[in-house]
Amino acid sequence: MSRIGKKPISVPKGVEVNVVDGMINVKGPKGSIGTPAASCLEYAFETAEITITRKNDEQETRAQHGLRRTLLANCVLGVTEGFKKTLDVIGVGYKVAVKGNTLEMALGFSHPVLMELPQGIEAKAEGTKLTLSGVDKELVGEIAARIRRLRKPEPYKGKGIRYENEQVRRKVGKSGGKK
């Protein structure tokens, strides 16, 4: 039995959970989000918690058990607390600015890089730090990865966009290796 799937999901006050047409919709103080319900699982909604049980013991059902529990727990956590990722922009002349729902970045190219943020993602730029936040954990992580992909941190000078606590392995340059 899945250890993760067996754990009940606690639902705080102010959070509504509904099942409509194979989708589990979670609504809370920060917003609303939905996740697909697996037909091979049974969802039991009590007042303060949700439990997920399997209908059978097939491999597909066992695989879905822990996954669907984690996705639903992320939805509940997202609408109550939200998720955020912080990126550091490191380099001479590298800047980031938020204008409405558009990111304007100067990353050493001959032109500024403009990126439209999807609905549900909020960005805040403070100096060389960019903080992305939203209720959908997957979407926040995906947008952060797309921004990082624009200028990955390079190993010689460490310039580029990196996650807040990311360690970049530095290499010795061409003259550092000679004796």
Place of tokens 């100067």: 106
The superfamily in CATH containing domain 83-163 is Ribosomal protein L6 (3.90.930.12)
Distance from C-alpha of 77 to C-alpha of 73, rounded to nearest angstrom: 6
Q: Which DSSP string do the residues of 147-178 spell out, in sequence order?
A: HHHHSPPPTTT--EEEETT--------TTTT-
Angle at 37 between CA 64 and CA 7, to 5 degrees: 55
Give me the sheet containing 121-126, strands edge to edge: 121-126, 129-134, 83-90, 160-163
Give, as one character, the DSSP assignment of residue 47.
S
Non-local (6+) Cβ contacts of 55 within 8 A are 40, 41, 42, 61
- Judge whether 3-80 and 83-163 match in fold: yes
Residues in the chain: 179
For residue 31, is pLDDT > 90?
A: yes
User: Tens of pLDDT along 93-139?
Assistant: 999 999 999 999 999 999 999 999 999 999 999 989 999 999 999 99
Q: For residue 133, what are its two tokens?
A: 């936040």
Residue 127 gets the label, from left (phi > 0), alpha (psi -120 to 50) or beta, of left
pTM here? 0.88
Q: Which DSSP string do the residues of 80-110 spell out, in sequence order?
A: HT-EEEEEEEESTT-EEEEETTEEEEE-SSS
Q: Do residues 83 and 31 make contact, with C-beta atoms less than 8 angstroms apart?
A: no
For residue 23, is pLDDT > 70?
A: yes
Q: Where are the domains of the chain?
A: 3-80, 83-163
pLDDT at 136: 95
User: Tens of pLDDT along 45-56?
Assistant: 888 899 999 999
User: Tens of pLDDT along 132-171?
Assistant: 999 999 999 999 999 999 999 999 998 999 999 999 999 9
For residue 178, is pLDDT > 70?
A: no
Q: What is the CA radius of gyration of the chain?
A: 21
Query: Which carries the bigger pLDDT value, residue 175 or residue 78?
Result: 78
**What residues pair up with 45 in beta bridges, in sequence order?**
50
What class does CATH assign to 3-80?
alpha beta
For residue 2, is pLDDT > 80?
A: no
pLDDT at 3: 84
